[in-house]
Amino acid sequence: MKSTVLKNSQDVNPARSIYEIEVKDIAGNTTTLEKYKDKKMLLVNVASACGYTPQYKELQAFYEANKEHWVVLGFPCNDYGAQEQGSENQIQQFCEVNFGVTFPMFSKVNIKSSPIHPIYDWLTNPSLNGWNSQVPDWNFCKFVIDEQGRLEVFYSSAVNPNELVK
């Protein structure tokens, strides 16, 4: 799979704040991304049975090395090759046991299947985020949100977390 990187070259502001969107953490608690407002956010659609699953290790290393200014947010999704069939508890256990994941994980979301989760509607709808229409084409696609809540960059699955601009 080829690497794709799309950037917000004009610092376009979103029509709607990403911080207002409700999400459920992996334990099922409703929250928003407001608590990460002063950090860059790296949102990743993750899966436990994917060829890119080893990126969990790199995502955790990236998180540990940069957590003063960044947060990694994992959003499990079963839309790509049915590679995330486990329950939230199974996903959490898998990530902790196999990769030592401590970055925030969230409940499973739909990205391509209906209903599309509001966070991925925002990430892929230019009328909401200001510029991007690229929908993840596989697991482990990455979106960078800057400290002001603007979508900054989209990275395809093939871009390893170690290659991200810090």
77 carries an active-site annotation? no
* Cβ-proximal residues to 28 (8 Å cutoff; 6+ apart), any chain: 88, 107
Catalytic annotation, pick one of 50, 77, 95, 141: 50
Q: Is the peptide bond before 115 cis (omega within 30 degrees of 0)?
A: yes
* Alpha carbon distance 161, 143 (integer Å): 11
> Could you give the CA distance from residue 161 to residue 57 in angstroms, rounded to a whole number?
9
Active site residues: 50
